[in-house]
Structure 1
Amino acid sequence: MSKKKEYDYLIVGSGLFGCVFAHEAMKLGKKCLIIDKRNHVGGNVYCEKTEDINVHKYGAHIFHTNDKVIWDYVNSFVEFNRYTNSPMANYKGQLFNLPFNMNTFYQLWGVKTPQEAKNKIKSQIDQALITTPANLQEQAISLVGSDIYEKLIKGYTEKQWGRSAIDLPAFIIKRLPVRFTYDNNYFNDKYQGIPIGGYNKLIDGLLGNCEVRLETDYFNNRQQWNDRAEHTVFTGNIDQFYDYKFGKLEYRSLRFEHEIIDEENHQGNAVINYTERDIPYTRIIEHKHFEFGTQPKTIITKEFPEDWTPDKEAYYPINDKNNSEIFEKYKTLSKSEQHVIFGGRLANYQYYDMHQVIGAALKTVSTHFASLNAIPNPIS
């Protein structure tokens, strides 16, 4: 009989997936060790307190879901506030409400009724004479017309992807939500908010007394780490796990510039998008507005899309045909692993919202422990 290992679960990565898995496993009496190559826990939801403001270090994170079970789950660790995401778009100094709604259409054309707005959009779609969209530009115009596309989609999207819209595939924009009501709430979800005191409170609540080692790169000594646990929960890049056997998966990355400003209120809104191509950043975030702050100073963050290289954080998977085929090969290989559990956006090569990551982690916990005849109650 083999000797029992020091830990039941080694969890590589302290983002939401890893923390939820650790929390649920520890509730079942399992001993977990989390390792993370960064100098903090929480992955991309980590907040850094500066000037008494919780700064979203890796871009805006706004929790939203229709799933009451998930909403109750996160609120069991930290109370969420009533923040509602209502971003603005700045195009050449003009401001427009997002998502596309009656306020936007009034700002664009002066129309006041839904029928007037529908007629305007339809006339622009008809004039474009696009039957089968060949690229992102044609797809967008065929959905919302030329004015919305030119002012609010084109430049922003080209900055995000680092290439011209006519060189991007049509499938990137499958639909564009258009609302014929005066409603600036970006998300349709029933539940929405920000943790009071920042996302670190959620992460700390999930981790409890779990053992964590930071500034620790799994790949520097992976065999040693694997030998210390019965199972490994891997939330990193799946292609790296397999030594890029089938090739490297591609991503887009981001760079953030943070600035302290000696003003109480700089832009009057948490998120303002900059939609013209000539401005290199896609948006400016003013963090204090996420928690209705009244601090004497404010902090803004400019968000710059970048090409991804292995020394940068991978944010958005490029799910084109080539990358999807490569990922499927890794996914097939991963199914043969008996002692490794893969989860999270990097291991699944998929962009997730926060509630989706938590839901996926809870489902993985239930499936995994059911297979071990130790069915958990993850929402207890």
Structure 2
Amino acid sequence: MLYDYLVVGAGLYGAVFAQQAMEQGKRVLVVEKRPQIGGNLYTQQVEGITVHKYGAHIFHTNDPEIWDYITRFARFNRFVNRPVANYKGELYSLPFNMYTFYQMWGTVSPQQAQAKLEVQRREITGEPCNLEEQAIALVGRDLYEKLVQGYTEKQWGRPCRELPPFIIRRLPVRLTYDNDYFDARYQGVPEEGYTALIARMLAGAEVRLGVDYLACKPWLDILAKRVIYTGPLDAYFGYRLGSLEYRSLTFEEAVLPQTNYQGNAVVNYTDRETPWTRIIEHKWFQFGRGADGAELDKTVISREYSAAWQPGAEPYYPVNNIKNEALRAEYQELAAAEPRVRFGGRLGEYRYYDMDQVIAAALTASREELGRPL
């Protein structure tokens, strides 16, 4: 065989595994269905601005091992995510903090905000039966109706009363003026973009782009001793047990002849009537300057729309309900019976991962794989 490992997918999980394998002297072939590396992290230069083509990606972690690892391949800036919510022209600070409570109720002390929250939470007296009741039990009706309901219903494509409560079991509520969304020890965006980071990870591997692994599986499998598969779990098995459900996203990108469109990298649109869920202004990930540090007289925005997933669309978010969790478990039984294949990543495990969690999972997988004979 020509390779020790065939890695299916040139996203973050595949790149981390490939890098670790090559560091141990293994021969690696990476195949990617898209025409570029990076998966959903793919960034591209547009008018001198690093554009996140598949949605905003802000790296954050509290794990020093993960931070030390990822910063081997890129220098990160000091960007901190402080999104703004727009409800029919009213602006609110996110996540829920003292700024939010002042904007919503005019409260100026933690005691006043806490008292208002406690009064509104009393509407729900029993165990929450759905997402709406869960949200009101956490933050009250005012915050729910203006900042949670419309955004969530656009995201999931159904009323909050039809969504399970566990989706929103934790809503951060801070009785301080801290509006750092992630509240992570380490946070930032690669100065050269994520594509450059992934390229450094894959240096030394053979990478073949525009290759559909599942369409070419018989002849690709014979090239390597082991397969690391990061594509959709159900697709690998030809959907024989049925299709796992996803939510998808579409993007509307525009170059605008102005220096500043919205004054922030991320603005969420939380009313139900606005069709998009958020607008990203990419230059603010680099503090308003171009990738080379130059001042710019243009800006690039992306309107993000949530959409139902259909075959041919990109799967983004697993729909984690009882039905899909049961189906996932059945597919995982089939996966465990594949002797030469390891399934990993967001799609391969049908699991929502933050970037640091993807890296941690890939590092764990590489340690287990590289410690076993091929």
What's the TM-score bracket when you normalise by the shorter of the two chains?
over 0.9
AA in 2 matched with 1:100: F
Within 5 Å, which residues of 2 pair with 1:300-319? Answer: 300-319=301-320
Q: Name the CA distance, whole Å, in 2 between partners of 1:24 and 1:166.
A: 45
Note if contact 1:88-1:95 (Cα within 8 Å) is conserved in structure 2. Answer: yes
Q: Name the CA distance, whole Å, in 2 between partners of 1:333 and 1:369.
A: 23
Q: CA deviation at 1:319?
A: 1.0
Within 5 Å, which residues of 2 pair with 1:155-304? Answer: 155-292=150-287, 293=289, 294-304=295-305
RMSD: 1.0
Q: Name the CA distance, whole Å, in 2 between partners of 1:334 and 1:166.
A: 34
Q: Name the CA distance, whole Å, in 2 between partners of 1:305 and 1:368.
A: 37
Within 5 Å, which residues of 2 pair with 1:17-32? Answer: 17-32=13-28
One of 62, 76, 80 as aligned partner of 2:76 = 80
Q: Report whether the alignment pairs 1:67 with 2:68.
A: no
| Per-residue CA distance 1:19-43 (angstroms, 9 max, x = gap) | 1111111111111111111010000
Note if contact 1:232-1:340 (Cα within 8 Å) is conserved in structure 2. Answer: yes
Note if contact 1:130-1:138 (Cα within 8 Å) is conserved in structure 2. Answer: no
Q: Name the CA distance, whole Å, in 1 between partners of 2:309 and 2:256.
A: 30
Q: CA deviation at 1:98?
A: 0.2
| Per-residue CA distance 1:225-275 (angstroms, 9 max, x = gap) | 001111111000111111112111000000000000001111100000000
Q: Name the CA distance, whole Å, in 1 between partners of 2:311 and 2:114.
A: 46
Q: CA deviation at 1:332?
A: 1.5
Q: Name the CA distance, whole Å, in 1 between partners of 2:63 and 2:10.
A: 23
Residue in 1 that maps onto 2:330:
329
**SS, match of residue 328 in structure 1:** helix
Which deviates more, 201-210 or 156-165? Answer: 201-210
Note if contact 1:137-1:165 (Cα within 8 Å) is conserved in structure 2. Answer: yes
AA in 2 matched with 1:353: D
Q: Name the CA distance, whole Å, in 2 between partners of 1:160 and 1:28.
A: 42
**SS, match of residue 280 in structure 2:** strand
Q: Name the CA distance, whole Å, in 1 between partners of 2:24 and 2:325.
A: 36
Residue in 2 that maps onto 1:111:
107
Note if contact 2:124-2:133 (Cα within 8 Å) is conserved in structure 1. Answer: no
Residue in 2 that maps onto 1:95:
91
Note if contact 1:16-1:42 (Cα within 8 Å) is conserved in structure 2. Answer: yes
Note if contact 1:143-1:176 (Cα within 8 Å) is conserved in structure 2. Answer: yes
AA in 2 matched with 1:316: Y
Q: Name the CA distance, whole Å, in 1 between partners of 2:82 and 2:320.
A: 28
Q: Report whether the alignment pairs 1:345 with 2:346.
A: yes
Q: CA deviation at 1:133?
A: 1.3
Q: CA deviation at 1:333?
A: 1.7
One of 41, 50, 53 as aligned partner of 1:45 = 41
**SS, match of residue 99 in structure 1:** coil
Q: Name the CA distance, whole Å, in 2 between partners of 1:96 and 1:130.
A: 28
Q: CA deviation at 1:147?
A: 0.6
Q: Name the CA distance, whole Å, in 2 between partners of 1:339 and 1:236.
A: 15
Q: Name the CA distance, whole Å, in 1 between partners of 2:166 and 2:345.
A: 23
Note if contact 2:121-2:136 (Cα within 8 Å) is conserved in structure 1. Answer: yes
Aligned residues with identical type, % of pairs:
52
Q: CA deviation at 1:355?
A: 0.7
Q: Name the CA distance, whole Å, in 1 between partners of 2:33 and 2:124.
A: 52
Q: Name the CA distance, whole Å, in 2 between partners of 1:29 and 1:189.
A: 34
**SS, match of residue 151 in structure 2:** helix
Q: Name the CA distance, whole Å, in 1 between partners of 2:185 and 2:164.
A: 32
AA in 2 matched with 1:66: N
Q: Name the CA distance, whole Å, in 1 between partners of 2:314 and 2:277.
A: 17
Q: CA deviation at 1:214?
A: 0.7
AA in 1 matched with 2:156: W
Residue in 1 that maps onto 2:292:
none
Q: Name the CA distance, whole Å, in 1 between partners of 2:164 and 2:198.
A: 37
Q: CA deviation at 1:370?
A: 1.6
| Per-residue CA distance 1:315-372 (angstroms, 9 max, x = gap) | 0001111111111011112112221111100010001111110110000000111223
Q: Name the CA distance, whole Å, in 1 between partners of 2:162 and 2:343.
A: 33
**SS, match of residue 60 in structure 2:** strand
Q: Name the CA distance, whole Å, in 2 between partners of 1:62 and 1:71.
A: 13
Moved over 2 A (4+): none
Q: CA deviation at 1:174?
A: 1.1
Note if contact 1:63-1:354 (Cα within 8 Å) is conserved in structure 2. Answer: yes
Q: CA deviation at 1:130?
A: 3.1
Q: CA deviation at 1:209?
A: 2.4
**SS, match of residue 218 in structure 2:** helix
Q: CA deviation at 1:91?
A: 0.4
Note if contact 1:63-1:192 (Cα within 8 Å) is conserved in structure 2. Answer: yes
AA in 2 matched with 1:208: A
Q: Name the CA distance, whole Å, in 2 between partners of 1:184 and 1:172.
A: 22
